């Protein structure tokens, strides 16, 4: 879909199109369509995951990777802890 880490991934089958994610994204990453929100500006996303936190249906995931400074080979992938 896109190569930008932390960018929201919308699960349209769960989305009710309430628009909170589009309205409240501080970087204006998402745009509402007839199908639901889509990522139109992935390069703007700062990975704050506000859209994920605000979604009442849990239809948005913001996956990320953690890399520790001391060991460039050490990393973990996952989702934000709830």
Q: Does 67 map to a domain?
A: yes
Overall residue count recorded for the chain in this entry: 82
CATH code where residue 47 lies: 3.30.70.20
CA distance 32 to 39: 9
Query: Which residues form the domain of 32?
Result: 9-79
For residues 11 and 61, is the Cβ–Cβ distance under 8 A? yes
Contact 19, 30 (CB under 8 A): no
> Higher pLDDT residue, 36 or 1?
36
pLDDT in the model for residue 75:
55
Tens-place pLDDT, residues 57-76: 999 998 866 566 666 665 55
* Residue of 32 and 1 predicted with greater confidence: 32
Residue 56, phi-psi category: left (phi > 0), alpha (psi -120 to 50), beta (remainder)? alpha
pTM above 0.75, yes or no: no
Cα–Cα distance list, 30 to 47, 66, 73 (Å): 13, 24, 33
Can you tell me the mean pLDDT for 10-24? 96
Number of domains in the chain: 1
Residue 1 resides in a domain = no
């Amino acid at each position: 879909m896109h190569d930008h880490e932390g960018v929201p991934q919308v699960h349209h089958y769960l989305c009710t199109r309430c628009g909170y994610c589009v309205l409240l994204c501080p970087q204006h990453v998402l745009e509402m369509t007839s199908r639901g929100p889509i990522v139109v500006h992935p390069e703007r996303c700062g990975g704050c995951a506000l859209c994920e936190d605000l979604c009442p249906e849990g239809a948005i995931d913001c996956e990320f990777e953690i890399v520790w400074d001391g060991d460039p080979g050490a990393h973990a992938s996952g989702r934000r802890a709830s």
